[in-house]
């Protein structure tokens, strides 16, 4: 769980440097929702 969050936060930092935040947040939210469905 912690490793995933660390990896995600570094991905977030890289993504924000190169992409628009609005697109990033909607895309990340969809990924997190998809993860919840599978890992629930």
Confirm if 19 and 28 have CB atoms less than 8 A apart.
Answer: no
| pTM of structure | 0.34
pLDDT of 34:
80
pLDDT, tens digit (0-9, with 9 covering 90-100), for 17-40: 776 667 767 887 888 888 766 554
Query: What is the rounded CA–CA span in Å between residue 2 and residue 20?
Result: 26
Confirm if 17 and 25 have CB atoms less than 8 A apart.
Answer: no
Query: Cβ neighbours of residue 28 under 8 Å, at least 6 residues apart?
Result: 12, 15
pLDDT of 40:
47
């Amino acid at each position: 769980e912690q490793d995933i969050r660390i990896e995600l936060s570094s991905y977030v930092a890289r993504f924000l440097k190169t992409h628009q935040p609005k697109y990033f947040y909607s895309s990340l939210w969809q990924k997190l929702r998809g993860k919840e469905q599978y890992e629930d």
